[in-house]
Amino acid sequence: MAALVLSRNVAIYSTRRLTEAFRARGLSLSVLDPASLCLKISGNTVELHEGGRRLPNPDVVIPRIGVLTTEHSLSVLQQFEILRVPLTASADAVRIAKDKMGCLQALANAGVPIPETTLARQGPDASWAVEAVGGPPVVLKFLTGTHGVGVFLADTAESARSILEAMWSLEKNLIVQRYIASAAGQDLRLFVVGDRVVAAMRRTAPEGTFRSNLHSGGQPSVADPTAEHIDLALRSSQALGLRIAGVDIIESDDGPLVLEVNSSPGLEGIEDATGIDIAGAIADEAILISKGGR
C-alpha cells in the first residue's frame, strides 16, 4: 500500500511520527509538499506531476496542511478526489476548517454550541459587532490563524473598535467573539481519529494571559473528557467532514462550547502529554480508508 502525506513542512515532528507509524506496520509513506505538484486535466485525463514525472496514484492521501492551505493545495486535493484516491479530508473540509467563520458556521448549523460571534461589514459596524456579542471584553480573531497568533482580547469597546479599524485599514477582517471569562485561560484539545476521541489534553495559559495554545506558552496536562465533551468533539469533526481533527473546547457557565476544529492538529504536544500513539491511530484509520472502509 502507498500512503501519501501532503505537508508544507516535511521535516516536522508530526510527519516524522506518521512515517514511523507506517513503517511499524510494514508500509511506506511518502511525504510531499502540495506546492511541488503540478496538475493536468484534459478531456479524458486527470494527472498529477512531480518533478516532471507523472505521480502514480497513492492508495490514500493524508492532507496535513491546515492554515497553510493555499488555493493550489486545494486544487491538488480536488485532483486526488477526481482520481478517486481516498483522502482523510476532502478539499471542501480543509477549506472550511481553515476559515474560522466558515468553521463556526458549520458547527452552528450542526447544532454544536459555540461562543456568540459576529463578522462585521468593514466600516461603521464596529460598535454593533462588539455589542451584539454582549459588549466588552471581547475576543478578536483573524479569519485564518493558528497557535493563538492573531487572537486578541479587547477589554473596552474603544480598544475593540480601534483594533477592528486598524485591521480593516490593512484589508484584514476579524471575527468578534464573546470572551468566556469562566474558562480561566484553560481549554481542552480533543483529538479525533475516525469515530473516536483517541486523546485529550487540557491546556492552561500562562498566569495573566488567556490563550492556552502550546505555542503561546500554554501548559499541557492529561485530561479526562466527559461524555458530553466526547460527543461534542465527534459532532464537530463530523460537521466539518474531517476524519482527523483537533477540537478545541472551553467551559462556559452554560456548559462546554466548541471554539474551533483544526484539520491538521499537531501531534507533538498531545503525544508528549498523554503518551498515546496518535500517529499509529492515524495510520490505522488511513489504512481503513484506503480499503474503502469509510
Ligand X SMILES: Nc1ncnc2c1ncn2[C@@H]1O[C@H](COP(=O)(O)OP(=O)(O)O)[C@@H](O)[C@H]1O
Among 148, 194, 266, 269, binds ligand X (CB under 6 A): 148
Q: Is 248 in the site for Mg ion (CB under 5 A)?
A: yes
Please spell the DSSP secondary structure of 120-165, one letter per residue: PPTTTTHHHHHHTTTSSSEEEEESS--TTTTEEEESSHHHHHHHHH
Scan for cell 452552528, then name that residue: 108
Among 14, 69, 146, 290, binds ligand X (CB under 6 A): 146
3-state SS, one letter per residue, for 177-207 = EECCHHHCCEEEEEEEECCEEEEEEEEECCC
Residue 80's binding partner among Mg ion, ligand X, none (Cβ under 5 to 8 angstroms by kind) is none
250 neighbors 50 (Cβ within 8 angstroms): no
Q: Measured between alpha carbons, how far is 44 from 197 in angstroms, rounded to an integer?
A: 41
For residue 179, the minimal CB distance to ligand X (Å) is: 5
Among 19, 177, 236, 290, binds ligand X (CB under 6 A): 177
For the segment 40-79, give every residue that binds ligand X (CB under 6 A). Answer: none
Q: Measured between alpha carbons, how far is 281 from 279 in angstroms, rounded to an integer?
A: 5
Q: Measured between alpha carbons, how far is 85 from 58 in angstroms, rounded to an integer?
A: 7
For ligand X, the closer of residues 58 and 148 by Cβ is: 148
For residue 213, the minimal CB distance to Mg ion (Å) is: 6
Q: Is 248 in the site for ligand X (CB under 6 A)?
A: yes
Among 21, 259, 282, 289, binds ligand X (CB under 6 A): 259
Q: Is 183 in the site for ligand X (CB under 6 A)?
A: yes
For residue 263, the minimal CB distance to Mg ion (Å) is: 12
Q: Is 187 in the site for Mg ion (CB under 5 A)?
A: no
Q: Is 285 in the site for ligand X (CB under 6 A)?
A: no
Q: Measured between alpha carbons, how far is 280 from 172 in angstroms, rounded to an integer?
A: 39
For the segment 79-138, give every residue that binds ligand X (CB under 6 A). Answer: 115
154 neighbors 140 (Cβ within 8 angstroms): yes
109 neighbors 235 (Cβ within 8 angstroms): no
For Mg ion, the closer of residues 248 and 285 by Cβ is: 248
For residue 184, the minimal CB distance to ligand X (Å) is: 9
**Strands 46-50 and 53-54, how do they pair?**
antiparallel
Residues near Mg ion (CB under 5 A) are 248
Residues near ligand X (CB under 6 A) are 115, 139, 141, 145-148, 151, 177-180, 183, 187, 205, 210-213, 248, 250, 259-260
